[in-house]
């Protein structure tokens, strides 16, 4: 039995007398991550009893036991808060310079930044529409995949034309030609995606998640140049 000397919200300290070797101190403390337990000033491991409570293996003798609890993400939250406060202080001190710097970067790389924003929005449309088709409309997942692909590529075409490359809607023939080209090169990039994944995973034995990240970087770059060079070519007077 633990004779408690100090008991606070996240801290318990007490003494226990063990008369037989390899006895287990059974507690009613919930078993969870975040507990640090000291026996006679030394940190020890603890185990679960009935998948619910903390248990300690103790040797013969009188022991001083301390239980300290720190929420698992408390330290991480503290570090993030500290970094955020420092960054906010730096921002407040150099606010005008930072705003001018950001504006300068944006207008210096406007097309690329807008392209990345458009890509993010297209991803949202793709995933969101797939969820609507499968969960709300109960459409087969394969058909939903095709429909979400068509919807996402159509959205990407309009956003890239208006927001990224800023080309004009001159006539129906030009719009139809651009739309055809856009779908054609997106299907091509899909084939490149599949072939590179096969190359990296099956032949080079690279982890599939790492391979997917590498391939997506390649696809994003390829789609940008496909759009800029072959699809949204600006006419020169």
Contacting residues for 21 by C-beta, under 8 A, at least 6 apart: 59, 60
Cα separation of 144 and 129, whole Å?
8
Cα separation of 34 and 50, whole Å?
19
pLDDT in tens, 75-113: 778 889 999 999 999 999 999 999 998 899 888 889 999
What pTM does this model have?
0.60
Taken in order 53, 57, 60, 62, the sign of the CA dihedral is negative
pLDDT at 53: 83
Q: Is pLDDT above 60 for 6?
A: yes
Q: Is pLDDT above 70 for 237?
A: no
CA angle 167, 231, 184 (to 5 degrees): 140
pLDDT in tens, 58-77: 888 888 989 888 877 777 78
Percent of the chain with pLDDT over 70: 97
Cα separation of 22 and 79, whole Å?
40
Other beta carbons less than 10 A from residue 156's beta carbon: 23
pLDDT in tens, 118-177: 999 998 999 899 999 999 999 998 899 889 999 999 999 999 999 999 888 888 888 899
Kindly state the tokens that stand for 24: 């287990």
- Domain extent listing, the chain: 2-69, 109-231
């Amino acid at each position: 039995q633990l004779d408690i000397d100090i008991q606070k919200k996240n801290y318990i300290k007490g003494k226990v007398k063990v008369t037989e070797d390899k006895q287990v101190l059974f507690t009613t403390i919930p078993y969870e991550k975040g507990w640090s337990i000291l026996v006679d000033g030394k940190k020890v491991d603890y185990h679960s009893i009935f998948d619910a409570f903390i248990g300690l293996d103790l040797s013969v003798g009188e022991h001083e036991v301390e239980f300290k609890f720190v929420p698992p993400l408390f330290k991480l939250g503290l570090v993030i808060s500290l970094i955020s406060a420092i960054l906010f202080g730096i921002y407040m001190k150099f606010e005008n310079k930072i705003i001018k710097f950001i504006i300068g970067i944006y207008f210096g790389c406007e097309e690329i930044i807008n392209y990345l924003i458009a890509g993010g929005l297209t991803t949202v449309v793709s995933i969101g529409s797939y969820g609507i088709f499968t969960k709300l409309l109960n459409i087969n997942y394969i058909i939903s995949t095709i429909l979400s692909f068509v919807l996402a590529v159509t959205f990407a075409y309009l956003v890239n034309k208006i927001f990224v490359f800023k080309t004009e809607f001159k006539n129906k023939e030009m719009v139809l030609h651009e739309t055809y080209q856009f779908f054609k090169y997106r299907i091509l990039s899909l084939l490149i995606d599949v072939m590179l994944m096969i190359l990296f995973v099956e032949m080079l034995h690279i982890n599939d998640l790492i391979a997917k990240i590498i391939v997506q970087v390649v696809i994003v770059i390829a789609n940008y140049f496909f759009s800029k060079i072959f699809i949204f070519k600006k006419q020169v007077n």
